[in-house]
Structure 1
Amino acid sequence: MSRDAYLGTYLNDHLAGATGGVDLSRRLAAAERDTDYGPELRRVAAEIAEDRRSLLEIMNGLDVVLARHKAALAWAAEKVGRLKFNGKLFRRSPLSRVVELEAVRLGVEGKAACWRALRHRAVGDSRLDVTALDRLLERAGEQSETVERLRVRATTEAFG
Structure 2
Amino acid sequence: MDLLGIYLNDHLAGSTVGTNRARYLARATRGTPTGEVLEPIAREIAQDRRSLLDIMARLGVQARQYKVLAGRTAELAGRLKSNGRLVRRSPLTTVVELEFLRLGVEGKAAGWRTLRPLAETDERLDPRQLDQLLERADRQLRTLEELRFRRSQEVFRGPG
TM-score when normalising by structure 1 = 0.97
Unaligned runs of 5+ in 2: none
| Partner of residue 50, structure 1 | 47
| Partner of residue 156, structure 2 | 159
Aligned: 1:70 with 2:67: yes
Unaligned runs of 5+ in 1: none
| Partner of residue 136, structure 1 | 133
- 1:31-76 Cα deviation digits (max 9, x unpaired): 0002111111001000000000000000000000111100100101
Supply the distance in 2 between the matched residues of 1:40 and 1:47 (Cα, whole angstroms): 12
Counterpart selection for 1:105 from 102, 114, 127: 102
| Partner of residue 8, structure 2 | 11
Supply the distance in 2 between the matched residues of 1:157 and 1:88 (Cα, whole angstroms): 18
| Partner of residue 24, structure 2 | 27
- 1:120-151 Cα deviation digits (max 9, x unpaired): 11111111000000000000000000000000
- Count of paired positions: 157
| Alpha-carbon shift at residue 158 of structure 1 (Å) | 1.1
Supply the distance in 2 between the matched residues of 1:37 and 1:12 (Cα, whole angstroms): 31
TM-score when normalising by structure 2 = 0.97
Supply the distance in 1 between the matched residues of 2:23 and 2:63 (Cα, whole angstroms): 23
| Partner of residue 87, structure 2 | 90
Supply the distance in 2 between the matched residues of 1:71 and 1:150 (Cα, whole angstroms): 28
Supply the distance in 1 between the matched residues of 2:15 and 2:9 (Cα, whole angstroms): 10
SS in 2 for 1:125: coil
The runs of at least 4 aligned residues of structure 1 exceeding 6 Å deviation read none
Aligned: 1:122 with 2:119: yes
Supply the distance in 2 between the matched residues of 1:40 and 1:34 (Cα, whole angstroms): 10
Supply the distance in 2 between the matched residues of 1:88 and 1:118 (Cα, whole angstroms): 42
Supply the distance in 1 between the matched residues of 2:13 and 2:56 (Cα, whole angstroms): 13
Identity of aligned residues (%): 55
